[in-house]
Structure 1
Amino acid sequence: MEIIDASVNQNFHFEKPESVSSTKLKNLAEKSALSLGRITAERDVAVVSFRQDFLLNSNVESEDDRLVLAIEKRRKNDVDEFYVKTGLYAGRISYGDVLFNIKPDCSNALYEQMLNYANHIYIDKTEDNGERKDHSDFPLIEYLFLSSLQRASVMGLPQEYSKQRYHDIKVHGGLDIQNYIKKDFPFMGRISSQKNERHYVQCVVDVLFTALKACRGEIEKNFKRLNLIKNELNASYSGKFPSQQTILKAQTHRVLNNPMFADFKQTLKFAEIVIRHNAILPDAKDSAIASGYLLDVASLWEVYLEHLLQTRLDGWSVSAQEKINLYQDCFFKRENRPDFVLRKDDGSCIAVLDAKFKRMDGVYKKYSDVDREDLFQIHSYAGYYRERGVKDIRCGLIYPLSQKVLEKNQASLYGLTEEYRVHDGSKAKFMVDGIYKGMDDCSVLDSKYSVADAEDAFIERLKFFLNS
């Protein structure tokens, strides 16, 4: 099978034609594009989203229409050129006779940090013993599964109580009256008893161990602490590959309602994708339009920024996906949801920010990195809060940056100079900023600039913008 590497949000303006053989791409170009609604109808494509309400904003296209992958043909100088267009989904997807490996448009270091935040893993990026880990060849879904399992298993594997019956020379727990009457008259030296004992949930053990076996090489290299969990699972493993029914039973087991084991809900979802991705699920279909797994990078970027803002902005409260009702009593009413609404603790200022996982070079060019719709949307949010009487309003768009610092990235709202502004005592500012993403496929941003450095620099610039 031919493999083509692509990046998220690629060829939006048809910048990069493919150099590979065009035979298979030509066949795919004749097919319709893969949208989210089309591929999720097939159970062989798993889509991971970190925010269930991510698509509630009525200003974006419906969930079913969101682009995942398309092959488009353009003729240039009497030669057919083929372009692989992608949406905001990373992962691996098999389409026709081609395997598309879609990576996020950022360094592996930043990507790993985003995944860790999404899994609620907050770690010091300084590696032990000076050894740097590299996940550049590590399948995304395996990383999500292993990191999620490592976090969820801190309190141990899911266990439940069940009644165990004994017929022995000593009493275990309490007397089993029913069997005592049936079996122990006349007394022959043994007595019936019963005891409630804790044991691992078999369906959960089978699913987790099967998924662990599929990525065992990465356990030894990057998740050594999971070796103990692997040994515990191995000791209780039934020896049977889990069917789809077994996986569903594990994912809906009552033991997961226990807050101690609630984190295993997400872990078991990742485990199912790992099992499917490694083609070891016995009831998988061969007739699917496409197969593989995808991760909603836009929601991942948003969740990452949400955690960063909530933990690093002292004196501000951060609300995500706050509902805004426009023209509520009219037939053209709309419901909007800005990504983040920041409120100063003393109530003197409100800031509205939108997260955009798109390319940002910070230079003026033919095709601007700031989409027209994104620009109008964030300004409409600012106008809404100004109409509600907010005297000090800030708004901005947050991107993964191609350079460490953007020049000329802030201005008064709409860029109006003093002579054109209404002098009513109010203030309003707009900015475009973000976090330096580093070089693609690099395990660090650069030798002297870490992800933590990029985060610190962004937070400092944001604080200055909010308080100036």
Structure 2
Amino acid sequence: MSGERDDDEPIVYCAWDGTWWAGRYVGSLSFEGHSLTIQPRFGLATLRNWLFEATSVVLTSTPGKLREDESFIAQLLASVWVHGFVEAARHGLPALRREVATKGVAIRGRLDVAASLRLIATGGGQVVSIRSERSLDHAASDAIVAAYEVLRRWLGVPDEKWLPTRAKELLPQLMAVTGARPRVPTKAELDRIRYTPITAGFAPVAELSRQIANRRGLAADIDASGETKGVLLDVAELWEMYVLSVLRKAASPLSVTHGTREKSTIRSLLYSDVTGQGLGGLIPDAILYSGATVRGVVDAKYKPLHPSANSPNGPQREDLYQMTAYLGRFTPPGGSGGWGLLAYPLDPTRPLIPQAEQCSPWSLDGGRKVNFTVLPHDASGAVTKLRELINSMVPEQNSWRTQS
């Protein structure tokens, strides 16, 4: 459950000193009779805060310890599923066109010549016609409702508290068509659906629903068939979404563009003098604008900012190079040059402010500045800290906010 990623990126890896580390994913996997569960580094409560801020989906606490690991995975899967469903249904439910055949003495739609001749030959005295109509009665609806029933039973949360209001409004409309326990469609049946541009967002939701309805990924079932099974959530991308959400609240009246989602912000580091072809795509997590002028670039890093054996100064070298490239490409040089911000998650076990943040801002050539900060895991605290930081980097924003 992630955006674009490197297929060779390890889930877990062994460092040069023999220490094993988990990467950017949490979840559970099973392989050859063994299971691996990767819990969130900052705990499930923190993950709930990030999910709620980034997606407006609330993960509820599930009592009991017997199925603790499975419940953890099911809650993550349910949150991703319901967010995808609500996002896809922004313009309504997936009412798709289908052809319906009717018999009668009048033609409704177009005449089915072959079927009508066969019917007339039997002495029916009627013809067969085919018309096109919009309907919710199709495989995608069946998959969504089937997944909902599985998640509802698995989570066991009273009063459907895990569902947002919008989902509670839409699901009964689907169930009125499909029934409470529809048959789970096959992948081939889902692939045959022809979505419109407005309903195209239901395609990945329907496929995820089919897998959930078949109970794939809900638990790390021990399997000796040689196939790896399970589900992983990209926490680094979730941290990026969390930072973007609090940044938009803190930066007003500056506008914030999501670099990895909005293709218009992608630029190249180099351009060929011969062909004009770009080389080395630059995709920052967020860009802050005042009108058409870039004021700052922000990148979220799901890493520790405190010094370590691999990074004795705190920030990793490749992150410094990356931010320098962003500033060189997106912000203007000069005395009022732009600034960059690298945002890291606060580590509750290390309450002291990291040295890189204490000494911020750091200067580059051309008047550009780079700041480092660790953000609290509660959204209100993160918004307050970011607002103070942005005000210090863009002093005139205080007057803008007062006027607005």
Equivalence for 2:11: 68
Q: Does 1:235 align with 2:172?
A: no
In the alignment of these two chains, the number of paired residues is 357
Equivalence for 1:301: 239
Aligned-pair identity in percent equals 21
Structure 2: runs of 5 or more not aligned: 63-67, 261-265, 396-404
Cα distance in 2 for partners of 1:69, 1:278 equals 21
- SS of 2:243's equivalent in the other structure is helix
Equivalence for 2:79: 143
Cα distance in 2 for partners of 1:351, 1:263 equals 32
TM, length-normalised to structure 2: 0.69
Determine if contact 1:90/1:102 at 8 Å carries over to the other structure. yes
Q: Does 1:345 align with 2:299?
A: no
**Aligned Cα RMSD in Å?**
4.3
Q: Does 1:156 align with 2:109?
A: no
What does residue range 201-280 of structure 1 map to in structure 2 within 5 Å? 201-217=137-153, 218=155, 221=158, 222-223=161-162, 225=168, 228=172, 231-232=175-176, 234-235=178-179, 239=183, 241-242=184-185, 246-251=186-191, 253-255=193-195, 257-259=196-198, 261-274=199-212, 275=214, 276-278=216-218
Deviations 1:329-377 (A, max 9, x none): 69xx644433333233273x632222101234xx556655422322343
Letter in 2 for 1:341: I
Cα distance in 2 for partners of 1:436, 1:293 equals 27
Letter in 1 for 2:226: S
Letter in 2 for 1:65: D
Query: Is 291-300 or 182-191 further displaced after alignment?
Result: 182-191
Equivalence for 1:102: 38
Letter in 2 for 1:133: T
Letter in 2 for 1:166: K
Letter in 1 for 2:285: D
Determine if contact 1:277/1:293 at 8 Å carries over to the other structure. yes
Letter in 2 for 1:199: S
Equivalence for 1:86: 22
- SS of 2:303's equivalent in the other structure is coil
Cα distance in 1 for partners of 2:132, 2:329 equals 60
Identify if the C-alpha distance between structure 1 residues 411 and 323 changes in structure 2 by more than 3 Å, giving closer, same or farther. farther
Q: 2:373 aligns with which of 433, 436, 446?
A: 433
How far apart are 1:389 and its partner, in Å? 5.1
Q: 1:465 aligns with which of 372, 388, 392?
A: 392
Query: Is 148-157 or 351-360 further displaced after alignment?
Result: 148-157
Determine if contact 2:296/2:331 at 8 Å carries over to the other structure. no
- SS of 1:156's equivalent in the other structure is coil
Structure 1: runs of 5 or more not aligned: 1-47, 56-62, 75-81, 126-131, 417-421, 438-450
Equivalence for 2:225: 286
Deviations 1:90-119 (A, max 9, x none): 22112444322223333545533544566x
How far apart are 1:397 and its partner, in Å? 0.7
- SS of 2:232's equivalent in the other structure is strand
What does residue range 313-328 of structure 1 map to in structure 2 within 5 Å? 313-319=251-257, 320-321=259-260, 322-326=266-270, 328=272
- SS of 1:287's equivalent in the other structure is coil
Query: Is 193-202 or 203-212 further displaced after alignment?
Result: 193-202
Equivalence for 1:358: 303
Cα distance in 1 for partners of 2:393, 2:236 equals 24
Equivalence for 1:10: none
Equivalence for 1:133: 60
How far apart are 1:84 and its partner, in Å? 4.0
How far apart are 1:249 and its partner, in Å? 3.9
Q: Does 1:166 align with 2:99?
A: no
Cα distance in 2 for partners of 1:180, 1:346 equals 64
- SS of 1:456's equivalent in the other structure is helix
TM, length-normalised to structure 1: 0.61
Cα distance in 2 for partners of 1:455, 1:382 equals 23
How far apart are 1:68 and its partner, in Å? 0.8
Cα distance in 2 for partners of 1:277, 1:414 equals 45
How far apart are 1:391 and its partner, in Å? 3.3
- SS of 1:198's equivalent in the other structure is strand
Equivalence for 1:49: 2
Deviations 1:204-254 (A, max 9, x none): 234324433432223753346276257336528663x44xxx225415621
How far apart are 1:165 and its partner, in Å? 0.9
Determine if contact 2:250/2:383 at 8 Å carries over to the other structure. no
Cα distance in 2 for partners of 1:356, 1:91 equals 20
Cα distance in 2 for partners of 1:313, 1:457 equals 10
Identify if the C-alpha distance between structure 1 residues 390 and 250 changes in structure 2 by more than 3 Å, giving closer, same or farther. farther
